[in-house]
Structure 1
Amino acid sequence: MDTVKSFLKNKSWIIRITVTCIILFISWFAQWGFTSIKATDAIEIQKLVFDSVKTEQTASILPEPYRSNLNTRIPDKVQRKANEVIEGTLSRFYIPNSQILKKMVGQSEALINAQETGNYRFLDGGISKCKNIKISGHGNIATVSADIWVWDKALINNVIAHPEIGLHYQFSVVRIGKTWAISDESSDIIPGEGA
């Protein structure tokens, strides 16, 4: 009992405990209140990332009759139109006029142009599964990492192939006005998950 009374009389302990609790609360609030992405933003960012990957998988699909007939030559006009559509479609996901947008458009255009001289045509594509999605950041900047399995359906030498590949994606995302846009993107094959 005397110990409790002496503890209560010695106010320096109470002050120390109170100050420690305040410091812990401030550090917790600073960490989660100022540096984390809001749940609504995280949902929007995740949708942006997945929609961009899905679109990349289907961006190089040509219209009929060029899509499913390897013997039909793809006219320059059709290639140009397809390339214009790609840029307009992908610009919904990336920062306008950015290097990453130019890179992604260039990759899709190369796949379209290669179909004229190759023995294949893309028929469909998409995402089959996602794992290990992590979104972090603060304010108007976020980073996303995710393991995403993508697939393509292609007509190769008149045989339909359906390869799937697991990729570890890294995205940098920024808020522009009221929406989010991708400012950088990279991917690596997940070991053992290649096509």
Structure 2
Amino acid sequence: MAAPAGGRAEGLRKGLHLATVLIPLAVWFLPPAHWRWPLVAVALTALALDFLRLGHPRVGRFVRGLAGQALRRHEHAELAGSSYLALGCLLAAFLFPRPVAVAAMGYLILGDGLAGLVGRTLGRRRLAFGKSVEGTLAGLGANLLVGLLVLPAWPLALLGAVAASAIELLPLPLDDNLAIPLISGTLLWWALL
């Protein structure tokens, strides 16, 4: 993975990442008619803007100037994490039953977001792939809390929390903003069957 953006820009990225908690809250509390089309619109807009940025050098330079270091180095030539996050939430919301979808999105938004913030600010003991013990434990705790709040049984909450935390730790070829909700959601759905 490319070098992370500067500390301030990375803090902004993680803050925005955590602010997307409104998506699983909407899916949990509102009827589908109130969140389906707005979620589709957000995901399609993020993807369209990314493809426009990648396909047109002038637009790409403009966006890089506007976003500053909030775009990671590898995102200059690839989809941004925000597009993967929007797509991951959209797919989870449409593929899985509501509790599984909300848990999977919560793992992505709260668990992954908190793991990144704590890891960057308080992380002292390093694990593999640039992760920290402190960030990983913070993410696991957040994931467990999410699961306990929305899943019907604590063993499912534990399974989902551990799975999402493991996915976040591993250097998978799939962006973790897509991998976390899809893989953890699939595991939970299978466990419910």
TM-score, scaled relative to structure 1: 0.38
Report 1 or 2 for greater relative contact order, CA contacts < 8 Å, sequence distance ≥ 6. 2
Higher strand share goes to which structure? Answer: 1
Greater Rg over alpha carbons, structure: 1
Higher helix share goes to which structure? Answer: 2
